[in-house]
Amino acid sequence: MTIEHKSFSLELKVDAGTRRISGYGAIFGNKDSYNDVIIKGAFAQTLGKRKIKMLYQHSDKMLLGIWDIAREDDKGLYVEGTLAKTALGDEVYELANMGALDSMSIGYSVDECEYDKDGVRVLRSIDLWEVSLVTFPANEKAVVTGVKSAPKTIREFEDFLREAGKYSREDATTIALHGFKALPSGTREAEREDTEQAAKMLADFFNNIKNL
């Protein structure tokens, strides 16, 4: 089995309050510097059979934490996890927080591929093993957009809900003041995953308020 690596300068976000890190480990439909294109569905089989490892620079001796969310969407392979409270985890957090470390890379083997008329390798099925934070990307299509800290005011929490949870200003205000149960049931069901993420931030928000 041949293990290949493919790097992306990502839309990577790090949360200072929870040490959560998230971004896209791969972007669909974008030809990279290796003349490869990954199509939607390429990760489907892997995501159903194993837990993807979070590594640093593709080294199995440098485990960073855990990816507890890994899924495909229309854009690419979205991953989200938590950096361990270790010396390496602290170092990587600081580098990402200051913008020095802004890329992720996947370690994989190819199950199914084909070449188009231009010689581009189209990856249809990928056996994914790990997603690493790395120094240099092979694909510059996506970039780190920022490092987030836990919100400390009602307004900051509303802003987070509108950005991360895709809620309207009215819904964000309702949640911040009255909780998620105040939303119509249809909205809660449609935004289940976003709500789970926002709920984690809500806990951090109240912890921050308590500690002020």
Domain span at 76: 4-147
Average pLDDT, the chain: 75
Q: Are residues 117 and 187 in the same domain?
A: no
pLDDT for residue 113 is more than 70: yes
User: Residues 91-107: what's their mean pLDDT?
Assistant: 86
Most confident of 18-32, 105-119, 151-165, 198-212: 105-119
What is the pTM assigned to this prediction?
A: 0.62
Residue where a domain terminates, one of 100, 125, 147: 147
The structural domain count of the chain equals 2
Q: Are residues 82 and 171 in the same domain?
A: no
Q: Are residues 165 and 138 in the same domain?
A: no
Residue where a domain terminates, one of 121, 147, 173: 147
pLDDT for residue 161 is more than 90: no
Q: How far apart are CA 121 and CA 36, in angstroms?
A: 5
The residue assigned the tokens 């294109």 is: 37
Q: What is the pLDDT of residue 64?
A: 95
**pLDDT tens per residue across span 28-82:** 998 877 788 999 999 998 898 889 999 998 899 999 999 999 999 999 999 999 9
Is the sign of the CA dihedral 85, 88, 90, 94 positive or negative? negative
Q: Are residues 135 and 165 in the same domain?
A: no
Contacts of 26 by beta carbon, 8 Å cutoff, 6+ apart: 6, 8, 38, 42, 43, 76, 77, 106
Q: Are residues 141 and 155 in the same domain?
A: no
Q: Are residues 142 and 158 in the same domain?
A: no
Give the Cα-Cα-Cα angle 99, 100, 102 (nearest 5 degrees): 70
Q: Are residues 35 and 90 in the same domain?
A: yes
pLDDT for residue 169 is more than 90: no
Q: Are residues 132 and 173 in the same domain?
A: no
Q: Are residues 155 and 189 in the same domain?
A: yes
Q: Are residues 124 and 173 in the same domain?
A: no
Q: What is the pLDDT of residue 52?
A: 93
The answer to whether 59 and 135 have CB atoms below 8 angstroms apart is no
Q: Are residues 115 and 21 in the same domain?
A: yes
Q: Are residues 103 and 186 in the same domain?
A: no
